[in-house]
Amino acid sequence: MSTPRPTGNSMPNMDPDQMRQPDRAFLQAPDGPAHPPRILLLYGSLRSRSFSRLVAMEAERLLQWFGCETRMFNPEGLPLPDAAEPDHPKVSELRELAMWAEGMVWVSPERHGAMTGIMKSQIDWLPLSLGGVRPTQGKTLALMQVSGGSQSFNALNQMRILGRWMRMVTIPNQSSVAKAFLEFGDDDRMKPSPYYNRIVDVVEELVKFTLMVRGRSDYLVDRYSERVESAADLSKRVNQASI
């Protein structure tokens, strides 16, 4: 089943008078990439009406408004980590998208006080290293969660730890949507609310950080300890298959 994607770019909740396009000349490196920022969105539920997917779709509309190129990964059919080889079609798709992306958005429901296993499986399939190349290092990350009950930050806190472990530049802002089932209409669009405004905040901040970091990430994450290692030694050290 393919992931439903946003149709059109209508955002009735947005106040156009208060929206600002990021100043690219101020943020990005003078000789940095000229193409639109590339953002990958991951969500953590397979439900037919998944509120984490709906939040991701709202974020995708906003990212496109800010001039980004977006991709959204559908986790349906992704095997459990270590239950298949890395050349499995869904694993290959996810890893290729991670290599393509310059930033990511992770949106997970909170289940039993934690992120979902579906969300964690996607992250676990992203290797720390592929032949000495780190597919997530130095890339930006924004975090969001949805809850069926009162507002919580458990899934966000867990994903923030994982973002740091994946050596991503995880932005300070984040979004937690409480009682998500009340925040969407029958058209699956998010209603006007402070929760929606916070999603706009997170997306705007992600775009700014991505413009600022890309083109500079190789320099920012250059480390002495890794300069003294060969690519082969590095790949061997971070290879999770041997654990």
Find the DSSP H helices in 66-124: 89-100, 117-124
Instruction: Give the pair of three-digit tokens for residue 190.
Output: 């998010």
pLDDT of residue 152: 84
CATH number where 146 lies: 3.40.50.360
**What's the confidence (pLDDT) of residue 170?**
96
- Residue 15 inside a domain? The answer is no
pLDDT at 234: 66
Report helix, strand and coil shares of the chain as percent, to nearest 5.
40, 15, 45
- Give the model's pLDDT for residue 199: 95
**72 and 59 in contact (C-beta within 8 Å)?**
no
Q: Output the six-digit token pair for 56.
A: 């991701």
Q: Is residue 178 part of a domain?
A: yes
Tell me, yes or no, whether 194 lies in a domain. yes
Q: For residue 208, which phi and psi values (nearest 5 degrees)? A: -60, -45
pLDDT for the residue 7: 53
Is residue 174 in a domain? Answer: yes
The pLDDT, as a whole number, for residue 3 is 57
pLDDT at 76: 96
What is the pLDDT, as a whole number, of residue 1?
A: 44
- Of 157, 170, 243, 156, the C-alpha closest to 213 is 170
Q: Collapsing DSSP states into helix, strand and coil, what is residue 97?
A: helix
Least Cα distance to 148 among 177, 185, 188 occurs for: 177
Full residue range of the structural domain in which residue 40 is found? 33-242
Whole-angstrom distance, CA of residue 236 vs CA of residue 127: 12
3-state secondary structure 35-71: CCCEEEEEECCCCCCCHHHHHHHHHHHHHHHCCCEEE
Does 4 map to a domain?
no
- Model pTM? 0.84
Within-domain flag for 20? no
What pLDDT score does 11 carry? 77
| Helix (H/G/I), strand (E/B), else coil: 220 | helix
The answer to whether residue 69 sits within a structural domain is yes
d(CA 210, CA 204) in angstroms, rounded, equals 10
Tell me the Cα Rg of the chain.
18
The answer to the question of residue 184 being in a domain is: yes
Angle in degrees, 0-180, between the axes of helices 154-165 and 117-124, rounded to the nearest 10: 10
User: What does the pLDDT profile of the chain (243 residues) look like in tens digits?
Assistant: 455 565 556 778 777 877 878 877 777 777 888 899 999 999 999 998 999 999 999 999 999 999 999 999 999 999 999 999 999 999 999 999 999 999 999 999 999 999 999 999 999 999 876 666 678 889 999 999 998 887 889 999 999 999 999 999 999 999 999 999 999 999 999 999 999 999 999 999 999 999 999 988 888 888 777 777 666 676 676 665 555
3-state SS of 129-179 is CECCECCCCCCEEEEEEECCCCCCCHHHHHHHHHHHHCCCEEEEEEEEECC
| Domain tally, the chain | 1
Is residue 44 within 8 Å of residue 96, measured between CB atoms?
A: no
Instruction: Specify the 3-state DSSP secondary structure of 28.
Output: coil
